[in-house]
Chains A and B, each alone.
Chain A
């Protein structure tokens, strides 16, 4: 991968984390936190995303992030009080940023969100902003929802005024340019002098002040086109001076009030530059001058000084203000019924120019931000490719095996030598165990990574379903192996969807049932008995047992006269093809829901269960092993070969001799276990074990579908943790086995996959023993 692409990849990884932090802090703020550090963290997150996006040319992302950042800046500066801020809007914006990031990551075209941009631009422009004087920093803006319906503008009827399109294009242009500059020096807020050109770039610094006549738009000349006449590479910075934009009530949208200050570093002569604007700008509409050493552009262009006060805010306010203009102009093209207002009457609206922030306040604000950055640096972390950790984990597994081999070898030594060696080996095994734990800890991640995605899911679903939902997360810091984390997202998504769609009632239904309108879903993670247990609890209507049972009967899953306990009925929710939703919705209810979840969970060696209380709610509990790298298994022997059956699959073991076996007409052996006819398979026959088999034991195991089977084996060797070695990675798929492991004596054993084994038995085929043997020795060699 070329370095740039690699960097870009890193950037996107960073974005994920930043987005997580952003959402988390916004969520905290939404839930009533008034911690200014949360605001700062949210601001920093979006700022970093913007900076990176600029460096990688993700223009849409920069544009959106910039407006978002400007809105958050109002909070940071105290212009908008935290308790008055529209966090739900911010959360939706954070979702939009996530969409833009993933679009940029996948190289897909970005979806523009003018709606959100317009709303964002309203932040900090509450009624108070109507006062012509800048709002004092200390005084929080009064609680005011952003004006929903933008004020209509007394514009000429007909097509959209030319200004609108021009401004739209301009935003992109200015954003793109300044975005790049920002990544270079992290200086959206910095003075133009700070945005100095790279010292290597030859040429002279030229200051260009563009003061177009107000009829620029009527000539259908967009600022974008004007600025586009300049050699792009030579542009150091572009500032838009909004100080001449009149208040909205007197603003004619067909007029251009924008002025531009452009800094160039160019080898072109002044004449050349003049030529570039030959027609689009009359000679009196622009001013070009060299910037001498140490001289400020302002001294060369006196007109610029008068705009200085407004410029303090300009770079970060440009997009916001332009968006505000856009937002306000938008409806002008669509006739809006305004019975109260005469068409020609001036319309009261907030002035377009943003209140300038006193420079002192900016200075004061910058300091804590820097401090915070310093603090952040102290929490040192290293980003490591998961592959490397996997290799490390593998190696540790090897050491564990080698060490247990050593233990076996040492036993045959004479006593005096043995005593000393055994001591060393004991230390070694303690250390390897510790090493294993530490590597596991490195791989362990808080479930936060998955939990974080859920608030968005809930938000979006709540909107789609028209329900009011509060999501409570607990135990986000519970750690679990990376392999499990990856597998958690789907089941959890499904479970939450299920709860939201079927479990929770609509606000009105809830009110009728005497509940609070807002439903609650709790997502809780905890460690219990060496497993991670995650529960999804809702306070909805619970499982409708009558309907579920009726449906199960109609599908023949339950006999007509069969009586089931209420808890048994609840478990039917995991049966294939059952959905009690009256209407199949987009969200869930196609009957592929919970049974799929159950199958996936069980394939990971986990369990899922449900507790429901009609009218009160429903709780799904998911229990998963902490890792997929190590497995608790029962080691068994059949002939000369040994196998491992995952303990999670084993229900019971019993002596074969005490078990009556019958043979069905087509040859299938069955046994009666707890009154149920259970098929019996002889492992040696199914897997083609070598050597003579003498089956003594039958293991009752459970399949993924919840059926039971008996597996006849020679002997149970023991129960132990085994390191899982992928067969696919080392050899190829072996029917009947999910993976392999290396036992203490250094020999390979297959880890059985009950379902796959049954399919193998049904097909009548046998795994190729020769191949298998080769696999085993390969595995041993390859480790």
Chain B
């Protein structure tokens, strides 16, 4: 699967894409929502994993922007964040996020979640 990974923490981003690549996925990286949108248009991922709190454009904004473009309407977006509050989750849901996962992530759990979106 083609996966776009967005996170402003470089180590975490590398860890994330390494985990995904080892599982056989093709990964593109972005360090914030804005870069994410550019990469989204160019890379045309099958799935997006995004952090929430990022400079320039955060995960919620990214999700909303993504959902507003035709190509982004069908792409599952997994939010991977340390946040776990009901309020922020509801906001994420309203923005159109597909799944929510709390950091730190356990590789197999993440891959299991990803696999569920794989046809």
The chain A residues found within 8 Å of chain B, CB to CB, are 158-160, 162, 165, 169, 215, 218-222, 224-225, 228-229, 254, 278-280, 282
A228 with B93: CB separation less than 8 A: no
Please measure, in the bound complex, the distance between the C-alpha atom of A159 and the C-alpha atom of B69, giving whole angstroms: 11
Residues of A near B89 (CB, < 8 A) are 279
The A-contacting residues of B in range 79-119, CB under 8 angstroms, are 79, 89-90, 92-93, 96-101, 116-117, 119
Residues of B near A165 (CB, < 8 A) are 74
Residues of B near A228 (CB, < 8 A) are 116
Known contacts: A158-B70, A220-B74. The answer to whether A279 contacts B93 by CB under 8 A is yes
A279 with B99: CB separation less than 8 A: yes
User: Which of A158, A218, A221, A282 is the one whose CB lies under 8 Å from B99?
Assistant: A221
A219 with B97: CB separation less than 8 A: yes
| Among A158, A165, A218, A219, residue most surrounded by chain B Cβ atoms (within 10 Å) | A219
| Among B67, B75, B119, residue most surrounded by chain A Cβ atoms (within 10 Å) | B119
Instruction: Verify if B59 is at the interface (C-beta below 8 Å from A).
Output: no
| Bitwise interface map of B from 60 to 73 toward A, beta carbon under 8 Å scored 1, else 0 | 00000001001101
Please measure, in the bound complex, the distance between the C-alpha atom of A224 and the C-alpha atom of B101, giving whole angstroms: 18
Closest residue of chain A to B101 (Cβ to Cβ) is A279
B90 with A225: CB separation less than 8 A: no
Known contacts: A279-B99, A282-B93. The answer to whether A220 contacts B70 by CB under 8 A is no
A280 with B119: CB separation less than 8 A: no
CB distance from B103 to the nearest CB of A (A): 14
Instruction: Verify if B45 is at the interface (C-beta below 8 Å from A).
Output: no
Known contacts: A159-B71, A159-B73, A169-B119. The answer to whether A220 contacts B96 by CB under 8 A is yes
User: Which of B70, B74, B93, B117 is the one whose CB lies under 8 Å from A225?
Assistant: B117
Residues of A near B97 (CB, < 8 A) are 219, 279
Residues of A near B73 (CB, < 8 A) are 158-159, 162, 218, 220, 254
Residues of A near B74 (CB, < 8 A) are 159-160, 162, 165, 220
Please measure, in the bound complex, the distance between the C-alpha atom of A282 and the C-alpha atom of B89, giving whole angstroms: 9
Residues of B near A225 (CB, < 8 A) are 76, 98-99, 116-117
How many A-B residue contacts, CB cutoff 8 Å?
A: 52
A159 with B70: CB separation less than 8 A: yes
Please measure, in the bound complex, the distance between the C-alpha atom of A158 and the C-alpha atom of B67, giving whole angstroms: 13
Residues of A near B117 (CB, < 8 A) are 222, 225
Residues of B near A282 (CB, < 8 A) are 90, 93
B116 with A221: CB separation less than 8 A: no
Residues of B near A279 (CB, < 8 A) are 79, 89, 92-93, 97, 99-101
Ordered by A's residue number, 27 sampled pairs between the chains whose C-beta atoms are within 8 Å are: A158-B70, A158-B73, A159-B73, A160-B74, A162-B73, A162-B74, A215-B96, A218-B67, A219-B93, A219-B97, A219-B98, A220-B77, A220-B96, A220-B98, A221-B98, A221-B99, A222-B117, A225-B98, A225-B99, A225-B116, A228-B116, A229-B116, A279-B89, A279-B93, A279-B100, A280-B98, A282-B93
Please measure, in the bound complex, the distance between the C-alpha atom of A215 and the C-alpha atom of B73, giving whole angstroms: 12
Please measure, in the bound complex, the distance between the C-alpha atom of A229 and the C-alpha atom of B100, giving whole angstroms: 13
Closest residue of chain A to B67 (Cβ to Cβ) is A218
Please measure, in the bound complex, the distance between the C-alpha atom of A159 and the C-alpha atom of B73, giving whole angstroms: 8
Please measure, in the bound complex, the distance between the C-alpha atom of A279 and the C-alpha atom of B89, giving whole angstroms: 7
Residues of B near A224 (CB, < 8 A) are 116
Please measure, in the bound complex, the distance between the C-alpha atom of A583 and the C-alpha atom of B99, giving whole angstroms: 61
Closest residue of chain A to B66 (Cβ to Cβ) is A220
Please measure, in the bound complex, the distance between the C-alpha atom of A169 and the C-alpha atom of B76, giving whole angstroms: 14
User: For this complex, into which size category does the number of interface residues on chain B fall?
Assistant: 20 to 34
Residues of A near B90 (CB, < 8 A) are 282
* Leading 8 A-B pairs by shortest Cβ distance: A279-B100, A158-B70, A220-B76, A220-B98, A162-B74, A228-B116, A225-B116, A221-B98
Closest residue of chain A to B47 (Cβ to Cβ) is A220
Residues of B near A220 (CB, < 8 A) are 73-77, 96, 98
B93 with A278: CB separation less than 8 A: no
CB distance from B88 to the nearest CB of A (A): 11
CB distance from A664 to the nearest CB of B (A): 74
Closest residue of chain B to A160 (Cβ to Cβ) is B74
Please measure, in the bound complex, the distance between the C-alpha atom of A279 and the C-alpha atom of B88, giving whole angstroms: 11
Closest residue of chain A to B119 (Cβ to Cβ) is A169
Please measure, in the bound complex, the distance between the C-alpha atom of A571 and the C-alpha atom of B75, giving whole angstroms: 67
Please measure, in the bound complex, the distance between the C-alpha atom of A254 and the C-alpha atom of B71, giving whole angstroms: 14
Please measure, in the bound complex, the distance between the C-alpha atom of A228 and the C-alpha atom of B75, giving whole angstroms: 18
Please measure, in the bound complex, the distance between the C-alpha atom of A162 and the C-alpha atom of B90, giving whole angstroms: 21
Known contacts: A162-B74, A169-B119. The answer to whether A278 contacts B96 by CB under 8 A is no
Given known contacts A220-B73, A221-B98, A224-B116, what 14 new A-B pairs fall within 8 Å (CB)?
A: A158-B73, A218-B96, A219-B98, A220-B98, A225-B98, A225-B99, A225-B116, A228-B116, A278-B100, A279-B79, A279-B92, A279-B99, A282-B90, A282-B93
CB distance from B99 to the nearest CB of A (A): 6
CB distance from B1 to the nearest CB of A (A): 14
Please measure, in the bound complex, the distance between the C-alpha atom of A135 and the C-alpha atom of B89, giving whole angstroms: 46
| Among B67, B92, B116, residue most surrounded by chain A Cβ atoms (within 10 Å) | B116
CB distance from B67 to the nearest CB of A (A): 7
Residues of B near A229 (CB, < 8 A) are 116
Please measure, in the bound complex, the distance between the C-alpha atom of A165 and the C-alpha atom of B118, giving whole angstroms: 12
Please measure, in the bound complex, the distance between the C-alpha atom of A160 and the C-alpha atom of B74, giving whole angstroms: 9
Residues of B near A160 (CB, < 8 A) are 74
Closest residue of chain B to A282 (Cβ to Cβ) is B93
Residues of A near B70 (CB, < 8 A) are 158-159
CB distance from A276 to the nearest CB of B (A): 11
Please measure, in the bound complex, the distance between the C-alpha atom of A228 and the C-alpha atom of B99, giving whole angstroms: 13
Residues of A near B96 (CB, < 8 A) are 215, 218-220
Please measure, in the bound complex, the distance between the C-alpha atom of A158 and the C-alpha atom of B101, giving whole angstroms: 30
Residues of A near B71 (CB, < 8 A) are 159
Residues of A near B67 (CB, < 8 A) are 218
CB distance from A486 to the nearest CB of B (A): 42
Closest residue of chain B to A218 (Cβ to Cβ) is B96
CB distance from A218 to the nearest CB of B (A): 6
Please measure, in the bound complex, the distance between the C-alpha atom of A162 and the C-alpha atom of B77, giving whole angstroms: 14
Please measure, in the bound complex, the distance between the C-alpha atom of A222 and the C-alpha atom of B98, giving whole angstroms: 9
Residues of B near A215 (CB, < 8 A) are 96
CB distance from B15 to the nearest CB of A (A): 22
CB distance from B20 to the nearest CB of A (A): 18
Closest residue of chain B to A168 (Cβ to Cβ) is B119
Please measure, in the bound complex, the distance between the C-alpha atom of A205 and the C-alpha atom of B15, giving whole angstroms: 41
Please measure, in the bound complex, the distance between the C-alpha atom of A254 and the C-alpha atom of B70, giving whole angstroms: 13
CB distance from B47 to the nearest CB of A (A): 9
Closest residue of chain B to A227 (Cβ to Cβ) is B116
Please measure, in the bound complex, the distance between the C-alpha atom of A678 and the C-alpha atom of B91, giving whole angstroms: 98
CB distance from A647 to the nearest CB of B (A): 64
CB distance from A497 to the nearest CB of B (A): 40
Please measure, in the bound complex, the distance between the C-alpha atom of A254 and the C-alpha atom of B73, giving whole angstroms: 10
CB distance from B77 to the nearest CB of A (A): 7
CB distance from A160 to the nearest CB of B (A): 8
Residues of B near A222 (CB, < 8 A) are 117
CB distance from B51 to the nearest CB of A (A): 15
Closest residue of chain B to A224 (Cβ to Cβ) is B116
Residues of B near A278 (CB, < 8 A) are 100
Closest residue of chain B to A279 (Cβ to Cβ) is B100
Please measure, in the bound complex, the distance between the C-alpha atom of A570 and the C-alpha atom of B95, giving whole angstroms: 79
Please measure, in the bound complex, the distance between the C-alpha atom of A221 and the C-alpha atom of B70, giving whole angstroms: 17
Please measure, in the bound complex, the distance between the C-alpha atom of A215 and the C-alpha atom of B89, giving whole angstroms: 15
Please measure, in the bound complex, the distance between the C-alpha atom of A334 and the C-alpha atom of B76, giving whole angstroms: 23
Please measure, in the bound complex, the distance between the C-alpha atom of A158 and the C-alpha atom of B117, giving whole angstroms: 22
Residues of A near B92 (CB, < 8 A) are 279
Closest residue of chain B to A228 (Cβ to Cβ) is B116
CB distance from B48 to the nearest CB of A (A): 10
CB distance from B29 to the nearest CB of A (A): 21
CB distance from A282 to the nearest CB of B (A): 6
Closest residue of chain A to B48 (Cβ to Cβ) is A220
Please measure, in the bound complex, the distance between the C-alpha atom of A160 and the C-alpha atom of B70, giving whole angstroms: 10
Closest residue of chain B to A285 (Cβ to Cβ) is B93
